[in-house]
Amino acid sequence: MQIEAVRGDIVEQTLDVVVNAADRRLLGGGGVDGAIHRAAGPRLLDECRRLRRDVLPDGLGLGQAVAMPGFDLPARWVVAVRGPNRLRGERDPADLHSCAVQAVRVARGLGADTLALPLVGAGVFGWSPEESARALVAGVRAGAGLELVRFVLASAAALEATREALAARDA
């Protein structure tokens, strides 16, 4: 499995799966979640509402993942993961790790070969880029089975933190 880190916009990725850093409700929001919902179009929100009604009445569990079509995105699928919100007391890095493991597992179940992943938990959920990158890189490696996982990062700090996490095991 090839793992890489690039600076860019996750909604422009032409990989099989784009991972969405969602909250429990799955109803869109800010940051990566809002960008993915805007780019995928209104059918993504409709699908999220259907999932909440029929499959996840209590919402998406911490560290869990669920798949849905990519709709207007270049990616075939969106896999939503619920990362821990450090600002609300969810401080276990194992939950970030689980997000990556579950995203890879769900992607494999879809028959996907490639996946784009943001730094789940960093930003509005209060995790530092370094903490998020370490946990997510370890989770991607633990959930191996795809040809390519691309961390797509919006800032230079996130890119540097992810490259350092990737190099730590390679050294």
33 is catalytic: yes
Q: What angle do CA 110, 10, 24 make, to 5 degrees?
A: 65
Which residue's entry shows tokens 């095991």?
Answer: 169
**163, containing H or E segment:** helix 156-170
Rg (CA), the chain: 14
The two tokens of residue 68 are 């849905």
Starting from the edge strand earliest in sequence, which strands make up the sheet with 17-22, in order? Answer: 2-7, 148-153, 114-117, 17-22, 77-82, 65-69
Catalytic residue among 9, 16, 23, 33: 33
What DSSP assignment string belongs to 11-64? GG--SSEEEEEE-TT-S--SHHHHHHHHHH-HHHHHHHHHHHHHT-TT-PPTT-
The pairing of strands 65-69 and 77-82 is antiparallel
CB 22 within 8 A of CB 82: yes
Residues involved in catalysis: 33
